[in-house]
Amino acid sequence: DLDAKLLPAGALREPPQAAGRAHLLVGLFDDWRTADDPPSVLVRYEPRALLDPDWNELPLAECKGRKLFAVTGIARPARFLATARRAGLQVVGAHHFPDHHVPRSRQMRRVASKAEALGAAALLVTEKDLARGMRSPMTLRALRIEPALAGEALWRAVEAISSVDFY
């Protein structure tokens, strides 16, 4: 059915029971660190750089010591905030739109006003929000994050994949 929605939502998403068919499971370290039976590979989101609205990569140090106001349209904004703070960024406030929401100009002007009132020098967004066209009357920076394998996960992954037949 061509009208079915693709991941991350919709009819084409597989239920958790489908994991039994997988050769390799990958999970987020923070979600599984206290579990009795975690997936064989755990990853962390590691902050790598900042992006400007033209997708130019900037060093994280550009915003260290500057107050930032986070704006998201993602399902789990608390993860994004924790990652930004782990990068040493000073997030003084946040506004969370619903997942997949692209704010209108009027909404972004209101958010920018809140941010300015808190002394923020820029708005901090996710790459996902930047890709969807989020724009702002204030300086806008996206936090580039990349998955990094946690602990011995790399060797477990290589071992698991090496025993799989690919067709």
Integer Cα distance of 159 and 144 in angstroms: 29
How confident is the model over 48-57, as pLDDT tens digits?
999 999 999 9
Closest CA to 51 of 62, 40, 41: 62
Element (H, E) at 105: helix 105-117
pLDDT tens-digit readout, 23-82: 777 788 888 878 888 877 788 888 999 999 999 999 998 888 899 999 998 888 998 999
b or e along 104-142 (b: 16 or more beta carbons within 10 Å of the residue's beta carbon)? Answer: eeeebeebbeebeeeebbbbbbbeebbeeebebebbbbb
